[in-house]
Structure formats: C-alpha cells, structure tokens
Copies of this chain bind each other. A is one copy, B any other.
C-alpha cells in the first residue's frame, strides 16, 4: 500500500495502466481444447470433465429432480433475498425496453428499428470457491426479459459431480431449464460449436478464469458474439473529508477479496482521509475469511492524493474503472463529470455490494479500461436491432435522383440503376 502525492498528468498514463496478464502458453492449450470439443463433442466434454474437474460422468444435463431438490436445500431467508434481488434487477432491466419509433425521414420514407431477442444465448457461471448465483441473476433475467428462446447455462460440477444448489435454485427461479455440468474452455467450446447434449448458441456471456476468457476470445473469431472482453475486477473510490473511513476500507476490501489480482484505488483531496482509511484497512482485513487473497490484492492498492476533486475525477476518467464510488459530499453534482466508468455509486450509502447483488443494476461490467468504449451488460446485450424501411412511390421520387448521383459518383452503376429502373417505371404508370 503506497501513497502517491500530487502526480503530474504526465505520470497518469503509468498509474492508470493495468498489469499485463500475458500468458503465451494459454492460447495453444485452449485452442486444442476447442478443437477437441469441435471434433469429439460430448465425448471430449466427458474426458475434460474427468481431467479438470475429477468427475466421471456421461450425463451433462442437470435433471429436473436435481433442480427441484436444490430448492429444498436453500434456507427460506436466502430464497427471499434472491427474490428481492430478482425483482429489482427485473424492474431496472424492464425499463430498458425500447418502443418502436417510426421516423419519416423524407416525405414517403418511413424508417424504424426493432429490437429482437438473440434466439440462442449461452451463460457461463464459474465454479470454485464462490458460487456466483448473483451473476446468474444478472445474465438470466435480461435474457428472459429480452425473450431469448434458448438459454443454455454451463457451470462446472464440484468433485461429487454436483452443482451448488443456490445456482440451481436461481436457474429454476428465472426459468432456465437447460443447465449443464461442464466448465472451463470446454464449456465455451460446447456452446460455440454445439455437441450432442449442448445446443449451439449465437452469443456467450459470463465471467471465468483465464481459460474461459481465452476461449471466449477465440470463439469470437469464429463469429460467436461475446458479452465483452474480461480482466480482473476493479474499484476506484473518490473520497473527500466528508467520507467515513470505515466505509471506504470496507468497500476496498470487498473488491480486494475477489482475487489477488483485484485492482483497488482510492483518490482523495484529503491526506487525513487516506491515512485513516489505511489504518482501517489493517483492522478490517483481520476480520474477513478471505484475508490472504485480499492482502495480496491490497499490496497493489493505490492511494493517490490530489489537490482537488476535479483532478480526482479527471484521473478516474482516464483510468475508466469498472466500479466507481463517489463517496463525496453532494455526489450527484459530480455525476455529470464522469465520462468513463462501468457503474457509478453515489454517496456514502451506495456501496458496491448494493449493485453487485440487489439494487437492480447489472454487475457484469467492463474492466481493464474497456469502460472507455464498452457498456456493461443490459437488456441491449440480449437483443439485436434490425432496421426497417418502407418507401412509397413518392418517397422514392423524393430521394431517387440523390441516390443516382451518389451511386454514380461511387462508380456503382448497378446501384444507380436499381433506382433508375423504378423511376422510369413510375413515369410510365
């Protein structure tokens, strides 16, 4: 943990740089897994599941009894919590539906766009230490709202060949019935190319380890869309002297516990608040179970002192954090100055955990500076927009000669002719 005082703008580029996670051996390995699944389908999945998950199975689809049984294993209060989160997420994403707006661009020419669900989508939920049923809410709810017909969920089995019941409960709650016990690059390959058990999809969503991430990157080159490129999770907090250090420390820790590569940054115009937060961090760190992971992540935590909040905002925009917490007085006034971020949390009671779970916003967000050009997952991520146009005879007459001139100037005479032949026809009727 180090404090950087008043860095000059020239030094910002170095400070906003993410660690480069290049792993040259990964690509050939993942390519091989993809090829194997493409060729041997289910058989390859059985083999990789045995190799990577230590589970011998020939049954990938979670059965309906398994889905039903999972519900009984979940405490009632957790079920209520998940339902509350579902309600808020649904409400926020439902509001993203767009009405069709026909526009008459010239007299007789009506154009519009229509959102239509991507028919087949695949969701990936990692296994491991944290059973991310919250991510399933974030992906499954907008997929259902959009109207995707085929929603496939892949998640790796534990050593006993089972899926965490909270994930199964959530899947059933949302209405996802095709849950497959398969993880890693092989799961991505299965959804990209299809196997005997697992349907091929057009777009793949969800987080994962470096194998999963690389597999998504590679299948994208085969025309399978993906939600967004991935990198380690990040939080950047901007605090002033009105901030309460224990909250700041708790927010930094909640990011740091994700993984030792988590990125945490605190910007402030107050040296006192930085010092207090650093002390709080030491105290709170001792209290959390994942403290070894968090400590490693916090080793790279940047505490940066700036002259004023405007500089903090400018630095944050340059960094483009996945999560940005504006823990400052009158935070809403600063919201308008944010130009690059995934999701912004305003004020002392808008902690990142709220958006991670239950406030309604999506938690699948661009990391690694991608917030400069990518949006987080939303209803939009599960639809594509088709444009439509209808020209009346009058409409074509109104723009026909413009089209002819432009097509001719581009040397595309057949484009011109498609209009000329119609205009001539209209002269004669």
Which positions in A face B, CB cutoff 8 Å? Answer: 77-78, 80-82, 84-85, 87-88, 91-92, 95-96, 98, 101, 103, 105-106, 109, 111, 113, 116, 118-119, 129-134, 166, 202-203, 217, 220-221, 223-225, 229, 244, 246-247, 250-251, 253-254, 256-258, 284, 287-290, 294, 331-332, 335, 338-362, 366, 368-376, 378, 380, 383-393, 395-396, 399, 401-403, 405-407, 409-419, 421-422, 425
Contacts and interface: CB of A to CB of B under 8 A. Distances in A.
B387 A421 contact: no
A122 to B, nearest CB: 11
A73 to B, nearest CB: 11
Give the dominant DSSP class at A's interface: mixed
Contact of A80 (B202, B402, B413, B417): B402
Nearest to A84: B402
Stoichiometry (number of copies) = 2
Contact of A352 (B105, B331, B352, B418): B418
Given A362-B387, A390-B350, A257 B413 contact: yes
A380 B380 CA distance: 10
Given A133-B410, A362-B387, 12 more contacts: A88-B106, A111-B360, A130-B412, A203-B373, A220-B220, A225-B370, A254-B415, A256-B414, A352-B415, A352-B418, A354-B419, A359-B391
A247 B421 contact: yes
Given A254-B412, A405-B78, A385 B375 contact: yes
A171 B331 CA distance: 40
Contacts of A341: 386
Contact of A113 (B87, B132, B378): B378
A111 to B, nearest CB: 5
9 contacts: A88-B399, A106-B359, A244-B425, A254-B412, A335-B388, A351-B396, A354-B403, A357-B399, A373-B384
Contacts of A101: 95
A105 B360 contact: yes
